[in-house]
C-alpha cells in the first residue's frame, strides 16, 4: 500500500489530497472537497502529464530562437528528456505557427510544434 500526497490545482483552495494506492489501483482519495479534485487526483497519480513549452534554435531567421511546445502533454517524468532533445535540435526559417519541428520527441510519440512565426533573413 502506498500513500501519495498531492495539491489540487483546480482552484485557489489548493486542497491537500491523499491518494492511497495498491499497485495501480486507487484504494481511496481523501482531502478533496469537490468532484473535480477527485478526478484530478486520480489522473495525477495514474499518469501525470505536462505540456512542455520552450524555445528551439532557428537558422537563417530574423530571430535565432523560436518558441515551441509539445503538441500534447508528455509524461511528467519525461520532461527533461524532452528538453534535451529540443535543446539539441534546430530548425530553418521561415517557421510558421504549428510547423512540426520534431516528430516523436524523445520516444514519446509526441510532436514538437512552433508556437510563433519567424521570417527568414
Partner 1 sequence: MKADIVIVGGGPAGLAAAISAAKEDKSLDILILERDNELGGILNQCIHNGFGLHTFNEELTGPEYAARFEEQLDGLGIRYMLGTMVLDVSSGSVTAINSKEGVFKVNCGAVVLCMGCRERPRGALNIPGLRPAGVFTAGTAQRLVNIEGYMPGREVVILGSGDIGLIMARRMTLEGAKVKCVCELMPYSGGLKRNIVQCLDDFNIPLLLSHTVIDIKGKERVTSVVIAEVDERSKPIPGTEQEIACDTLLLSCGLIPENELSRSAGVEINPSTNGPVVNESFETSIPGVFACGNVLHVHDLVDYVSEESGRAGRSAARFVKNKATAEGPVIKIRNGNGVRYTVPSFVRVNELSDDLVIRFRSGNVYKDSYIKVLFDGETKLSRRKPIITPGEMEQVILKKEDLANTPSEILIEIAER
Partner 2 sequence: MKSSYDIIIIGSGVTGCAIARELSRYECSCLVLEKDEDVCTGTSKANSGIVHAGYDAKTGSLKARMNIRGNMLMTSLCEELDIPFKRIGSLVVCTDEANRKGISELCARGIANGVPDMKILEKDEIREIEPNISDDVVCALYAPTAGIICPFRLNIALAECASQNGVDFKFNCEVTDVSKLGDEWIVETSSGSFECQAVINCAGTHADEIHNMVSDKKFHITPRRGDYMLLDRSLDGFVKHVIFPQPTAMGKGILVTPTVHGNTLVGPTAVDIESRDEAPVTADGLSKVQEGAIKNVKGLPLKQVITGFSGLRAHEDGGEFILEEAEGCKGFFDCVGIESPGLTACPAIGEYMALKIAESLSLKFKKFWNGICKDVVKPFELSEEERAALIKEHPEYGRIICRCETITEGEIIDAIRRPLGAKSLDGVKRRTRAGMGRCQGGFCSPRVMDILSRELNMPLDKVTKSGGGSKIILGRTKNEG
Interface contacts to partner 2, rule CB under 8 A: 55-57, 65, 87-88
Task: Give the Cα separation of 121 and 36 in Å (integer).
Answer: 49
Binding interface with partner 1 (CB under 8 A): 7-14, 33-34, 50-55, 57, 63-65, 67, 69, 76, 79-80, 83, 97, 115-117
Nearer to partner 1, 3 or 76 (CB): 76
Which option in partner 1, partner 2, none does residue 36 bind, with CB closer than 5 to 8 A by kind? none
CB 7 within 8 A of CB 15: yes
- Residue 44 CB, shortest distance to partner 1, in Å, is 9
Q: Is the Cβ of residue 88 or residue 92 nearer to partner 2 in the bound state?
A: 88
Residue 27 interacting partner from partner 2, partner 1, none (CB closer than 5 to 8 Å by kind): none
Pairing of strands 112-114, 49-50: unpaired
Q: Which of 42/83 has CB closer to partner 1?
A: 83
Residue 82, CA distances (Å) to 58, 59, 71, 103 in order: 18, 21, 12, 11
Amino acid at each position: 500500500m502506498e500513500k501519495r500526497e498531492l495539491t489540487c490545482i483546480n482552484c485557489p483552495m489548493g486542497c491537500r489530497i491523499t491518494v492511497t494506492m495498491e499497485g495501480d489501483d486507487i484504494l481511496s482519495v481523501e482531502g478533496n472537497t469537490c468532484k473535480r479534485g477527485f478526478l484530478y487526483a486520480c489522473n495525477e497519480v495514474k499518469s501525470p502529464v505536462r505540456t512542455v513549452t520552450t524555445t528551439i534554435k532557428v537558422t537563417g531567421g530574423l530571430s535565432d530562437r523560436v518558441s515551441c511546445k509539445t503538441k500534447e502533454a508528455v509524461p511528467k517524468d519525461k520532461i527533461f528528456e524532452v528538453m534535451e532533445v529540443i535543446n539539441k535540435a534546430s530548425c530553418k526559417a521561415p517557421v510558421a505557427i504549428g510547423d512540426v519541428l520534431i516528430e516523436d520527441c524523445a520516444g514519446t510519440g509526441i510532436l514538437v510544434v512552433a508556437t510563433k512565426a519567424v521570417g527568414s533573413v
